[in-house]
A and B are shown apart, each in its own frame.
Chain A
Amino acid sequence: MLNNSPLRSLTTIAMLAMGVVMTGCEKLPRGPYLQNPTTDSIVVKWRTDGEVIGQVAYGLSENNLSEVTSGGDATENHEILIDGLQADTTYYYQVQSGDSTGEIHSFTTPHEAGDATPFRVWLIGDSGTADENAAAVRDAFYEFNGGPQTDLWLMLGDNAYTFGTDSEYQKAMFDMYPETLSTTPLYSTIGNHEVMTTGGQPYFDIFTLPVDGEAGGIPSGTEAYYSFDYGNVHFICLDSEKASRAVNGAMYTWLETDLQANTQDWTVVFFHQPPYSKGSHDSDAGIEFHIRDMRENFTPIFDQYGVDFVFSGHSHSYERSYPVVGHTGKSNTFEESMKVDSGDGREDGDGAYEKMYSQVQDSGVIYTVAGSSGKISNGSLDHPVHYISLKELGSVVLDFDGDRVDAQFISPGQAVNDYYTVQKF
């Protein structure tokens, strides 16, 4: 885990300085960026201005990039799988495009499945504005985190407005987060804006996501929904946009299979359209049928298999629930008895939320809408499932540490506007 420490800040400054003084390095139009990490492999992607043969040199020291993996045919869009790596190990790498070489970056491979070593996850939602708001949210995280590199990064959809085109992705993702992209493995779920361009083709071209269970989990055969393990956590990405959301549909059938096979300590689910929101999208509104489907059809299986956290975007606000079970209706059907814990989850408040490993079913799912990483929009922000609802820009940080998870909502200006802890016994 990369801690928030002075040492880390110094490292960041040194790395940034190194980037400035390194001359002769090729300025790539896109990337490099890191995809589909497993304990023994990672995919490096980047784009060049012309078609050239690409390769990646890598090693355990930035002074000794002794291993080289080549890409094959000349191309503008490079995608190279590096394998034979060790789990939980930091590697340095440099992409080489024809005769040009890029800067040296580093990444750390995931921990083995089941390994409870601490790690950090950064989550951003609806970040695709490519403007000063997205930059402010990014910088607030960098300040909080002590730099742009973390262990794992999740995007909650609508990553590039308005249509999720390749050029919009360039501005909203590649130009906005280059330092994090080159150092931190990124996963994403598809948003409603992504599917506006040829059913989301640019999104599927940009991301390389696990379809064969290569990082743990059950193979889905599609990048639209998938799962992976990172240490003692199982992550599940669903598609609230294009896939069938029916209970007997392919995605639901896959999810049930995946949850049955899951033996990790923690389970995190993420998809774009939130089951519960009173932000810029009202989950009670009749036209919100994607939201309704996710709530009515999917939240029961989350309860059944003890999902711990569900993260979404779509509404441009921050809304975080109590641990809840059994709420599939509109907001006026929510009852106090559906709260597994009616406290704030804060150790300096009502106390951390507590869960038992031996009592998985109906143990309480915490739902978070984190769709304010690029803009904020109006809404009544009063859904009763939520402990807190904020019209604030920001992003979410999850720190996993064995039996404990700390979640924080970080806004520009170094404001921690929400925080809570979940402890398992």
Chain B
Amino acid sequence: MALDFLKVAQKFCASVSALAISFTFSVSVSAHPGGHDRIMTLNEQIAHEPKNAYLVIKRAQELIQEEQNFVPAKADLDKARSLGATESTSHEYNFVMGLYHQYQAQHPTAIEFFKRCVGLDSNHLQCYRAWAESALATGDQQTAIGVLSNFIKSSESSQTDDYFHLAQLLEKDKKPDLALKYLDQAQARFGALPHFEKYAIRLETSQQNFTKALERHLALKPFFGKTPQWQYEHGVLFEKLGDPAQAKLFYEQALATLGNKNKKKNKASATLQQEIKAKLASLKN
């Protein structure tokens, strides 16, 4: 995220006064080839409402996330602070201050600001995610997992992606059972999610839980049981369970589906066909 030359540039530019920075910024952004229209629009809006702290914070966020242009971003954040925090801006100020440090790999400082942000707005989805990212960047997987799992438990704003991301962190942390728990919890909350089930099948398989993997795969049948891919994967699971007869049945079914001239094929069928034929050949051996 952070680039060394940007750090150098920041140190160099830090000696320049805030006023000069603001002037330089407005000129450089206006001259930016091709646009970054949001920043230009924000420039115009701030020119009309120079005391609107929210606009200034938003511009800082854009400068950080879209351009990694930290010097004018910091000038904006300082300006926002001098304008005085209000109920509607103080959590955003802390969030963007956190981003300012996060994008420069100053994660412990970033985390302090993210903590302040969620202290003011306990539903700030982006902030929880950013906090977890910074925790991960410092190697603190436990905190990252804790932040995301607490968010999922406490907030209605959490989404399917948060569960998925948490499960990935738990998998990395060698806690596949806990990862499976969150994958299932998400489906209990949001309804059947075949991509979550696929991930769960992979986790079950990696733990040699082939019976459970097969049960989960069967749950996918209503969604794509007629596809050769599903039939093939079902055969693979039967083979892993030590049931070559059933495996053969599903491999042959997949081949038949692929060979159906009346069906318009929907995926890389040649590769799949080769894989299935190889599986069938190995079963004969």
Contact = CB atoms under 8 A, between A and B. Distances in A.
B195 A378 contact: no
Contacts of A282: 34
A141 B227 CA distance: 39
A260 B34 contact: no
A25 to B, nearest CB: 37
Interface string A267-284: 000000000000111100
A261 B33 CA distance: 43
B190 A221 contact: yes
Nearest to A234: B266
B35 interface: yes
Interface stretch (A29-37, A69-77, A246-254, A335-343): A246-254
A196 B38 contact: yes
A287 interface: yes
B203 to A, nearest CB: 13
Contact of A360 (B42, B194, B266): B266
Interface in B37-75: 37-38, 41-42, 45, 58, 66-68
Contacts of A249: 161, 164-165
Contacts of A358: 264-265
B38 A263 contact: no
Interface residues of B, number: 45
Interface stretch (B77-85, B147-155, B267-275): B267-275
Question: Which applies to chain A's interface (DSSP): helix, strand, loop or mixed?
Answer: loop
Given A218-B223, A250-B160, A261-B223, A305 B34 contact: no
A305 B269 CA distance: 9
- Most A CB atoms within 10 A — which of B33, B190, B196, B267? B267
Interface in A173-231: 192-193, 196, 199, 211-213, 218-222, 224
Contact of B194 (A219, A279, A281, A357): A219
B161 A260 contact: no
A24 to B, nearest CB: 41
B160 A199 contact: no
A218 B160 CA distance: 14
B58 A196 contact: yes
Given A281-B34, A361-B268, A218 B194 contact: yes
Given A260-B229, A261-B223, A378-B34, A287 B66 contact: yes
B58 A260 contact: no
A256 B37 CA distance: 33
Contacts of B161: 222, 224, 243-244, 249-251
A304 B164 CA distance: 24
B68 A287 contact: yes
B207 interface: no
B99 interface: no
A244 B165 contact: yes
Nearest to A359: B265
Given A219-B194, A377-B35, A304 B268 contact: yes
B38 A262 contact: no
Nearest to B159: A222
A162 interface: yes
Contacts of B66: 287
A196 B265 CA distance: 41
Contacts of A256: 195
B7 interface: no
A253 B183 CA distance: 13
B34 A279 contact: yes
A257 B198 contact: yes
Interface string B180-208: 00000010001111111011000000000
B48 to A, nearest CB: 12
Interface string B254-278: 0000000001111111110000000
B229 A379 contact: no
A134 interface: no
B184 to A, nearest CB: 13
A254 B195 contact: yes
B24 interface: no
Contacts of B199: 253
Nearest to A218: B194
A360 B267 contact: yes
- Most B CB atoms within 10 A — which of A220, A243, A260? A260
Nearest to A378: B34
A323 interface: no
Contact of B224 (A161, A220, A250, A261): A261
A280 B165 contact: no
A196 B192 CA distance: 30
B222 to A, nearest CB: 10
B180 to A, nearest CB: 15
B160 A212 contact: no
A163 interface: yes
B209 interface: no
B168 interface: yes
A265 interface: yes
Contacts of A304: 267-268
A266 B110 CA distance: 46
Nearest to A263: B266
B186 to A, nearest CB: 7
A162 B38 contact: yes
A219 B168 CA distance: 20
A345 interface: no
Contacts of A377: 34-35, 37
Given A213-B223, A220-B193, A357-B265, 11 more contacts: A161-B41, A220-B160, A253-B164, A254-B194, A259-B266, A281-B35, A287-B67, A358-B264, A377-B37, A378-B34, A379-B34
Query: Which 9 A-B residue pairs are closest in the complex by CB-CB distance?
Result: A250-B164, A221-B160, A261-B224, A221-B190, A254-B195, A280-B35, A357-B264, A361-B268, A253-B195
Interface of B: 33-35, 37-38, 41-42, 45, 58, 66-68, 125-126, 159-161, 164-165, 168, 186, 190-196, 198-199, 223-224, 226-227, 229-230, 263-271
5 contacts: A212-B191, A253-B195, A254-B194, A281-B35, A304-B268
